Structure 1
C-alpha cells in the first residue's frame, strides 16, 4: 500500500529547505543531505553514499543517471579480498543462511543506490536540465499532485517509470485467448504476472464447478479473468490493497469480464462459501522490504496459514480449494514440506490431487545467481484441497 510521505530537510545556499519525502519501501529520509551536481566525482559520491549521505541532485538530469550507473558498478565490484571472503562464507552456508546473506547484500546495495535524490515540483515535474516529463507515471503511482514539492530517489523514480511502461504495454496471457483481449496491465505496486506457469496451472486444472469461485488475493485480476474465461459464472475476488483492487477492476473492465467478477476489500475470505476457492499466496516466508514484495514474501507464512486454516469454513460440500505454491522455500531451507503437510492436516483438509510445473524464468537457468541451486530445483504446484 502507498506509504505516508514524511519530510526531508537540507540546506541550499545557506537557507534551510524541506520537502515531502517519498519512499515506496517506507525507508526514512537520509539524516544527512548534501546538494550535488555534475562536478561530483563518482568515487566521492560512492564514499558519501556508503556513509549514508543523501545526494540531492541540482545538475543535469542525465548526468544523475550516469552517476547512478557508476554507483552500481562500484557496488557490484567488491575488493578482491572482500569478494573472496564473501564467496567462502556463501559456499559454507546452509541454503537458509545463503538466502539471508543474499537478502542482506541486496539491502545494502539498495541503500547505496538510493543515495541519488531527485527534487520534484508540486506538479511532479523535474526542474533539472534535460529532465524527462514523468508526471503521468508519478500520478499513476502517487495519485494527483498536491502542489507541494517532494523528493524521491532516482532509483525509485526509474522503477516507477518502468512500471508505467509495463502498464501501457501489458503482459500477454495465453490462457485468456487471442489478442487483443489477452493482456493484463499491472499497476505500480502490484505484482506483474510475468511468471506464467502458475496461470497455466489454473487454466488447466479440472473445475469442480462453474457456478461460483472465490479468488483470494486478486492482485492484477489475472486468475479471476482466467476463471471467468473458463466459464465460471461468478467470481468473488478479494484483496486488502486498494492498489490491487483498482488494478484488477481496470483489467477486468478492459477484458469485458467485470460484470462476472465482484471485487471486495478484505483480508483473505469474503463472506459465505463457494465450490471453488483459489489462492496464490506469497511463496517465501520472509519479511518484505517494500509493499510490492508482499506478493513474494510472507513473513511467518501468515497468508498461507490463514488461507489453510479458514478454507474448510468457506468451501461448499464437495468443493475444492486450489493452493498455488512454489516449493522454493523448501529448497532454501525456510519451510519444510512436512510443515506444509502438517498445516493442511491441522486445518481438516485432505489433498485430492496436485499438478506440478517447472518454472521457465531466466533466473532458474542463471548459474551466477546466488540462489541458483534452489531456483533450478524449484517446482510450482497447484494443490487441490478438500475438507476431510
Structure 2
C-alpha cells in the first residue's frame, strides 16, 4: 500500500507534549491572574490625614495614582498588568522550549522498543524468521507486543520448516511410483516376451498407491482449509462403521477389535470425522502384533469434551518416537510393517482434521507395548444431541 509521507510519531508526540505543557502553563497563569484581580481593584481610595486633623480623600482611577505617603507605593490593576503580562509571556516561551526539548527526548526513549520491533519486522519480511526481539524489562504494552511478535515468528518458522519437510517428503513419495512405473515399462520394452499379466498387476498396484497418496494429500489440504459444513455427529456410530469396514482386514491380520461407549456427539464434518476414525482404526490394525493383537475403541463424554480413544497392542514405543508419528510421511522404524501400511499420512491427516475441528490429539505409548491415541473434541450442545 502506497501512503503519503507525514509527520513521524516521535514528532507528533513531541508536539503533543509541548502543547499540553503550554496549555497547563497558560491555565496556571490564568488562575494566578484571576486570583490577583480579585484583590487588586481598578479604583483605589486613599484617606490621607491633613495637618489640621481632617482627612483628605484622593481617588485613583486607571493609571492615575494619588501621591501616596512618603515611602509607600500602592499599585492598582493597570500596574499589575504591566508587571505580570511580560513575565507570563516569557514563562510561556520557556515552557514551550522545555516542552519541545523534553518531549523529543521522552518520545525517543518511549519509542525505542517500537524501533526494535520495526527492525525485526523488516527482517521477517526479508525471510529471516530466526531473529527474535527479546525485549528486556517488565511487562507493558510494548513488551506484550514484542512477546506476541516473537511467538508469531516462532510459529511461522516452525510452520515453514514443516512445510519444507512436507514438500520434500511429498515429492519423494510421489516420485517413487512414477520411477517404478518407468522402470517396469523400460523392462517390458526390452523384454517383449515378459509376462504381461504380471506387469499389468504390478503397474496397477503402483498406480493405486499413487492415487491413494494423491487423495490423501487432497484430504489433508481440505482439512487444513476448514472448508466443510459443521453438523452434529455421533462418534460412537463412526466407530462402529469403521469397525465394520475394516473387520476383514483385522481378521486377515489376526487382530481382535473391541468397541465400547455410548452416544458421543461432536460438531463437525461427518466425512472428515469418519476418515479420522478410519485412519486411527486402520493404523491400530496394521501396526499391531503379528498375531493375537487387540484394538480397543472407546467413545464418551468427559469434562465437557467428546472423547474418541483408540489403543492397540504392539511393540514397545519410546516417547521420542511417538512424538514424531504425526509428521507427514513419518513411519516408526520400530513399528511392524505390513502390505497395508498406507502412504505415511494417516496420523498426519488425523492431526489436521482434529485441529480443523478445534480438538486436541494425544499420542502416548502403552506400558505393555502399543499405542494409545485420544482425540478430544468440543462436545455438541444438548439440543444438538437430542
Give the TM-score range, shorter chain. under 0.3
Higher helix share: 2
Select the structure of larger CA radius of gyration: 2
Higher strand share: 1
Q: Calculate the TM-score normalised by the size of structure 1.
A: 0.22
